[in-house]
Chains A and B, each alone.
Chain A
């Protein structure tokens, strides 16, 4: 069964304190691994897609990496506006674009 586990559930950082969020997955043939940001009461906002082990992508203070078993979302020198829930999802090759989501990491960045 395809499964996604994210850790930690919640993370509190001081502004400027870099950290990483983890996403472990099991999937029968990975088509893609997705990272989304979700603000309270809003739909998920697309951040990155990673397709193969070793791939990395960056956007502003965020960097996503992928191995055969897990993905990391690195946040460098975070700002309070980075506070949100970060969701990881996997898409199997046989899944008709269906995404299986992890429970998310709630990030709070304090000034």
Chain B
């Protein structure tokens, strides 16, 4: 099946620093990728939709200046958490679809961010 890869899988940073997470579709091109955030024992909350070659679409309540999304190519989207704070500590997961009519999305393995 299709593979979506995230990097890094785990990252620890100090408060005030910025962290970049990469999401790659390895065997298909994705014009749209999605970024989710998941708290312990909670479900996935959609943060934003990343569109190749244009601005990302953010969900209500998500700060676009805090969570910078760049979709520079058809196989790569990045999420940068700027000026990170401990409350940004979470599990971030990206997904991408092959397009077409099925709407099926494939998920990355997730990135665990811990802000000290």
Using a CB–CB distance below 8 Å, which chain A residues touch chain B? Answer: 31-32, 34, 36, 41-46, 49, 87, 91, 96-104, 106
Contact = CB atoms under 8 A, between A and B. Distances in A.
Interface residues of B, number: 27
Contacts of B112: 41
B46 A98 contact: yes
Given A46-B1, A49-B103, 12 more contacts: A32-B104, A34-B104, A36-B107, A43-B108, A44-B44, A96-B32, A96-B49, A99-B34, A99-B95, A99-B105, A101-B36, A103-B42
Contact of A43 (B6, B42, B46, B103): B6
B93 A44 contact: yes
A104 B105 contact: no
Given A41-B112, A106-B41, A97 B32 contact: yes
Interface of B: 1, 4, 6, 32, 34, 36, 41-46, 49, 91, 93, 95, 97, 102-110, 112
Given A32-B102, A97-B97, A98-B49, A43 B107 contact: yes
A87 B32 contact: no
A43 B110 contact: yes
A106 B41 CA distance: 9
Contacts of A36: 107
Contacts of A101: 36, 43-45
Contacts of B41: 106
Nearest to B99: A97
Given A100-B46, A101-B43, A101-B44, A43 B109 contact: yes
Contacts of A42: 109-110
